[in-house]
Structure 1
Amino acid sequence: MDSTLRPELFDFHGVMMTHFFTDNWNNYQNFQARPDDILIATYPKAGTTWVSYILDLLYFGQTSTDRNKSIPIYERVPFLEIDIPGLDKGKDLADNLTTSPRLIKTHLPVQFVPKSFWEQNCRIVYVARNAKDNMVSFYHFDRMSKLQPESGEWSSFFQRFLDGKMLFGSWYDHVNGWWKKKETYSKLHYMFYEDLVENTGGEIAKLCSFLGKSASTGEIETLSGSVQFDNMKKDKMANYSTFPEMDAKISPFMRKGKVGDWKNHFTVAQNKAFDEDYKKKMTDPTLQFRTEI
């Protein structure tokens, strides 16, 4: 693939997308989910790989250590809607998974999720991250991933994020849309990145409870240790260093994994503008985020 050709964003049914996620639209909309499938849904750069890794270890870590050492996470937990010429389509990888349950990831806003997931009453784990840190992480990701539109300067990226002109649409629409879905769909577990950083073990225990999995305190402690950011960052099967369309020399795929890194990027004026904009857009008092812990 010609790395100089970054994809352009365009409006797709009211959400900004690129062709890598719409070319295969009709095909993945007809994806046949199974009742035991688990869908991991997030806005980009909100902890997707982290939670995918946790779930993969929870289900298959004890039984198949070869899997952790030889199969990259993006093959163990396929990205449903991705379609890059020359690489396997996400839908095909998902269709061909031999695991039970199948773990599948998506960045789709709730209204774009293929209907068979709802019809089969699949369990869905949604992870949300505070907008300030999410924006910073997305910025560095756009710099290093050839599959993303050009990041441009931080100041213009900052404005673009506020305007929702981001791949997979507005952060506000995404986190709110999924939060609202909880009211009508009981098999949705909504997690916060900040809680996972602050109390990894406690959040894994909640996940186990949601999934109906029994895990001892010792097992949860061991798992919490192996999924700490610094361990994953060194793990070639987890850190995307083997993925051809990313340039880790510009910025690593797993950069910091911290809460509050936005303070190293936002100017005082940007922070003020952000907070005013946030108040207007985040009107649901039941959905609360922490920008520091």
Structure 2
Amino acid sequence: MMLSPVVFHSPVAIITKDEEEKARKIKMSEIIERYKDKVSTLPKQESWMNNHVYKYQGFWYHQGFWYHSNASFSVEAIMATQDDFKAKPTDVFLASHPKSGTTWLKALVFAIMTRTKFKSGFSSSSTHPLLTISPHDCVPFIETESFLNNPAYANGLMATHIPYNSLPESIVSSNCRIVYICRNPKDVFVSYWHFMNKVRDNASASIKLKDVFEMFSSGISPVGPFWDHVIGYRKASLERPDKVLFLNYEELQKDANNEVKKLAKFVGYPFTEEEEATGRVEELINLCSFEKLKEANKANKDGDETSNVLSNEFFFRKGKVGDSVNYLTTEMIQILDEITKEKYDGLDISF
């Protein structure tokens, strides 16, 4: 059954207006104050960013403002989302652990669900939003929307890094669709390490790989333990395969055509025989390729040193499968492989 067409929304206009940004920061402060007492009771550990992460419902989160005055993925944001967010049965949620292919998944599903709106095609001469706008501006995180006075909840397509067991109750009970993408933990760790070094306030004091490896492998990392994050969604996909689709980043790289067709069917926008015959699937995949998205976002650097918004270029490094071998020692690889084998036993997750 086809779902209602997704409504294109770009919060770019919101974050570039001084008055909206001021209102956002005020609301951030109000939410942080609202959950201050609750957060104070949580276990805490030192994090990668030389501050603390707090353990909430089995996972670790930063508290309050943790980079560039941004509280969007803090423990308070998770709590506020759980309390306030109301999902609808027609919604589609794109879930992931950070650095697991989130940007790519957002681009693919947004392109799939809006392809009738942009009938001119996906060529370089078309006016498709993904040619000029970041996928993160096209598909908002529900954690960041908590701080907006006019959240884009009505769009029907949203993303989240929240673990499955911590999702707002309405997301599960409404029977809406959830797409989860997982990735090899070795590549996730290295990608996350690079990303954290980019967002640090003091760029001269980079985080050393060996200093955070033990934290990651023991589960103490933002929105970690990584393996538990994956396991929650994997089990949900086995229990409710019609509502939770579990995708593999490596498989998507290997067989994009079939994986994208499976994805389109799951979210309610299957490709027609005519679309497949005329190369529409391949056009969409090309539009959402790493190279195209990275090029499109070179001129779309929204962030700055004082903004709460990260530059879009931060989300594009290499996107290659197996690049972690160039950074990890043999011992590190062995440790992560052993943890992965033990954690994923019986869940049919492979890379």
Residue matched to 1:162: 217
Residue matched to 1:24: 77
Q: Is 2:315 the partner of 1:253?
A: yes
Aligned match for 1:174, one of 198, 216, 229: 229
User: Aligned-pair distance for 1:34?
Assistant: 1.4
User: Match of 2:219, SS?
Assistant: coil
CA distance, structure 1, for counterparts of residue 268 and residue 217 of structure 2: 38
Aligned match for 1:227, one of 264, 288, 293: 288
User: Aligned-pair distance for 1:201?
Assistant: 1.4
Aligned match for 2:136, one of 64, 74, 82: 74
User: Match of 1:172, SS?
Assistant: helix
User: Match of 1:152, SS?
Assistant: coil
Is the contact between residue 103 and residue 315 of structure 2 (CA under 8 Å) also seen in structure 1? no
Is the contact between residue 234 and residue 347 of structure 2 (CA under 8 Å) also seen in structure 1? no
User: Aligned-pair distance for 1:155?
Assistant: 0.7
CA distance, structure 1, for counterparts of residue 286 and residue 128 of structure 2: 19
Identity percentage over the alignment?
Answer: 29
Residue matched to 1:93: 151
Alpha-carbon RMSD across the aligned residues, in angstroms, is: 2.8
User: Aligned-pair distance for 1:6?
Assistant: 6.9
Residue matched to 2:243: 187
| Partner deviation per Cα, 1:229-280 (whole Å, 9 max, x = no partner) | 111111128x9732444368xx842111110101101112222233333333
- The 5 A counterparts of 1:185-224 are 185=240, 186-215=242-271, 216-217=275-276, 218-224=279-285
CA distance, structure 2, for counterparts of residue 70 and residue 278 of structure 1: 38
Residue matched to 2:102: 48
Normalised to the residue count of structure 2, the TM-score between the two structures is: 0.70
Query: CA 1:211–1:278 in structure 2 vs 1: closer, same or farther (change >3 Å)?
Result: closer
Aligned match for 2:164, one of 93, 110, 120: 110
Moved more, 177-186 or 215-224: 177-186
User: Aligned-pair distance for 1:75?
Assistant: 2.9
User: Match of 1:204, SS?
Assistant: helix
Q: Is 2:176 the partner of 1:132?
A: no
| Partner deviation per Cα, 1:159-180 (whole Å, 9 max, x = no partner) | 1110111111111101111111
Q: Is 2:336 the partner of 1:281?
A: no
Q: Is 2:84 the partner of 1:39?
A: no
Q: Which has the larger radius of gyration?
A: 2
Normalised to the residue count of structure 1, the TM-score between the two structures is: 0.83
Matched residue pairs, number? 274
User: Aligned-pair distance for 1:7?
Assistant: 5.4
CA distance, structure 2, for counterparts of residue 206 and residue 33 of structure 1: 24
CA distance, structure 2, for counterparts of residue 93 and residue 67 of structure 1: 20
| Partner deviation per Cα, 1:65-109 (whole Å, 9 max, x = no partner) | 4644565432321111137xxxx82695333x4x4xx21110111
Query: CA 1:92–1:23 in structure 2 vs 1: closer, same or farther (change >3 Å)?
Result: farther
Q: Is 2:45 the partner of 1:11?
A: no
User: Match of 1:116, SS?
Assistant: helix
Letter of the aligned partner of 1:142 in structure 2? Answer: M
Is the contact between residue 37 and residue 122 of structure 1 (CA under 8 Å) also seen in structure 2? yes
Query: CA 1:14–1:234 in structure 2 vs 1: closer, same or farther (change >3 Å)?
Result: same
User: Match of 2:60, SS?
Assistant: strand
Residue matched to 1:268: 330
CA distance, structure 1, for counterparts of residue 284 and residue 128 of structure 2: 17
Moved more, 59-68 or 221-230: 59-68
User: Aligned-pair distance for 1:136?
Assistant: 0.8
Gaps of 5+ in 1: none
User: Match of 1:23, SS?
Assistant: helix
Aligned match for 2:301, one of 223, 228, 241: 241
Query: CA 1:228–1:151 in structure 2 vs 1: closer, same or farther (change >3 Å)?
Result: same
User: Match of 2:52, SS?
Assistant: coil
Is the contact between residue 110 and residue 177 of structure 1 (CA under 8 Å) also seen in structure 2? yes
Letter of the aligned partner of 1:32 in structure 2? Answer: K
CA distance, structure 1, for counterparts of residue 132 and residue 314 of structure 2: 21
CA distance, structure 1, for counterparts of residue 218 and residue 149 of structure 2: 30
Query: CA 1:66–1:221 in structure 2 vs 1: closer, same or farther (change >3 Å)?
Result: closer
CA distance, structure 2, for counterparts of residue 198 and residue 240 of structure 1: 29
